[in-house]
Amino acid sequence: MELPFEGIPTVPPRKDRAHMVFFCGGCRYRVTAAPAWSVGRVKQALWAGGISRSNKPPERRATPGLQRWEDLALIYAGQVLDDNDKPMAEYHVPPGCQCLIAIERAKLESGKPDPDSAYWN
């Protein structure tokens, strides 16, 4: 490992800059995406990548669930990426970002934690 900053170990640079990683419902989703892509295009890539599988069975959920890609909300650095036409770069998402959140928009707008969340423990 290189020690570029006065001999102090640092986090190595990302090697995979072609993919982004999203966490949703306790699962990790890795999709091909770039900061130049629009938020809507990334949501569509997540949908095609199988994020709809994060739905719980209808009898166990308090919200409608993910029915289409428009039901997704993306979060980066505490900021909701809410404009589907804006590029990810305008929200300062770096290439190869591995710390994004995808959540059902209905859960986000309700303001209540998920019934299965550790919040209730």
Tens of pLDDT, residues 38-64: 999 999 999 998 887 777 777 777 778
Convert the pLDDT of each residue in 75-109 to its tens digit: 999 999 999 999 999 999 999 999 999 998 988 88
* Residues facing 22 on adjacent strands: 29, 100
- What does the longest C-alpha to C-alpha distance in the chain come to? 57
Buried b (16+ CB within 10 A) or exposed e, 70-91: ebbbbbbeeebbeebeebbeeb
Look at residue 117 and tell me if it is in a domain: no
Give the count of domains, the chain: 1
Report the predicted TM-score, pTM, of the whole model to 2 decimal places.
0.80
Look at residue 23 and tell me if it is in a domain: no
Look at residue 104 and tell me if it is in a domain: yes
Look at residue 97 and tell me if it is in a domain: yes
Look at residue 54 and tell me if it is in a domain: yes
**Enclosing domain of residue 50:** 39-110
